Amino acid sequence: MSNKPPSRGSHNSMRNNDTSQTEEHHFRYVDPAERWRQEYERHNSAEEKLTKLSKLNYEPFEYAPMLVKVPWKERQVPDFSFLIEDAKQAAESKYFIPVAVRLAGFFLSILILIYSTSTMFLWAAGTVSITLLINLFLIIQQRHKAVEVAVTQARFDVETRTEQERELIENARLQHETSEQERIALIEKLLQGDVPTIFLRLDTVLTKLDLPFPIAVDIDIYSSIPLVQVWLPSKAIIPTQVCALLTSGRVKYTDKETRTIHKQYIEACSAVIMQVVSTIYANIPTVDRLYIWGMLKNIPENECLFDIVANRENIVNACKAENGISAINQLNCKLETDTMLNLKPLHQEQPEEWGKVPSQLIRSLNIKIFSNK
């Protein structure tokens, strides 16, 4: 039986196997100390991000300077007069060689007239001299006319381009004035409590929050009273072990207690709620009373784990707390836990100021905040 050469697919399979073996070999023989160090840093990085989340801050955005119109910076119209000189030089350069050739021929014929003793050469040189002199006069006239035409056209181009630049500058000025008026009008609407403008601002600032995990925020507004639902992450965001790097270079893992994990989860949820709420108050000066629900998606029904009613003064003081739990305690947050600090669902009700408002009268906004890892 003849041996058949391996097919192309066989070659690809062999190549893939070789690549896999190479990668496995590299992983198997990588420096263990370096691998342990990277593992330790990766684990501690997750813990540090959760700790950073608990650092609260309230810095209200200053809108007063934004209400001042930015003045238009005058722009000078470029000087295009150089085009006239360039056109003149270009027109003259076209006649340089023809004029030079005729002048050279004319002077040569004069020399022949001076030094020649032959009557035939004298007649020929004289005829050539007169012909060249007449031709030289005509071409100089042509050059003069060509220069005049070129200069006239250049002046027209200068005027046209200058006018175009003036129009461009004027259009830019008008566009600047229009954009400034629109910007100031938008800020004034925000300061007056216009709901669409508030939603636009919140969508801009909340999506920029630096969070270690993705969340969603639902904001409902009626009668200038917002209800903010913060959709919290699951407990999977909390590392269940403590990682330590031993002097030998090895990594040691120690399981956390269940209560510690639950408390850390409450802290993370409290901190993220405070981050969202403080951002709302810092950017929306017309909001005073605010309802906040900390929600968790669950089956068969979603659960409310945190219920807070706050005003601006409460939030400003709460943001001075050392961590998220201390902050929500200052806000008299409603939450229930069992003996293991496992959060229990609460019964939530709409803001009392809303009354029995029809749902179609409530303005709503959904914002997704992605993780900035």
Q: Give the percent of the chain with pLDDT over 70.
A: 87
Query: What would the two tokens of residue 350 be?
Result: 């709409």
User: For residue range 136-167, what is the model confidence (pLDDT) as tens digits?
Assistant: 777 778 888 888 888 888 889 889 999 999 99
Confidence of residue 372 (pLDDT cuts 50, 70, 90): low
pLDDT digits (tens, 9 = 90+) for 56-105: 999 999 999 999 999 999 888 888 888 888 888 888 788 777 777 777 77
In the chain, DSSP finds a helix count (H) and a strand count (E) of: 9, 9
Yes or no: say if 62 and 225 are a contact pair by the CB < 8 Å rule.
no
User: pLDDT tens for residues 338-348?
Assistant: 999 999 999 98
**31 vs 152: which has the higher pLDDT:** 152
Tell me what pLDDT residue 1 has.
42
Q: Does residue 373 have a pLDDT over 70?
A: no
CB count within 10 Å of CB 157 equals 14
* Contact indicator for 237, 50 with CB cutoff of 8 Å: yes
pTM over 0.85: no
How far does the chain reach from its first CA to its final CA, in angstroms?
Answer: 61
Facing residues of 8 across strands?
none
| pLDDT at residue 235 greater than cutoff 80 | yes
Question: What angle in degrees, to the nearest 10, is found between the helix axes of 258-283 and 32-53?
Answer: 50
The per-residue pLDDT of the chain, averaged, comes to 86
Question: How big is the chain by its Cα radius of gyration, in Å?
Answer: 42
Which stretch of 115-129, 176-190, 191-205, 281-295 has the lowest confidence by average pLDDT?
Answer: 115-129
Tens digits of residue pLDDT in 258-293: 999 999 999 999 999 999 999 999 999 999 999 999
Is residue 222 within 8 A of residue 287, CB to CB? The reply is: no
Residue 7 has pLDDT above 70, yes or no: no
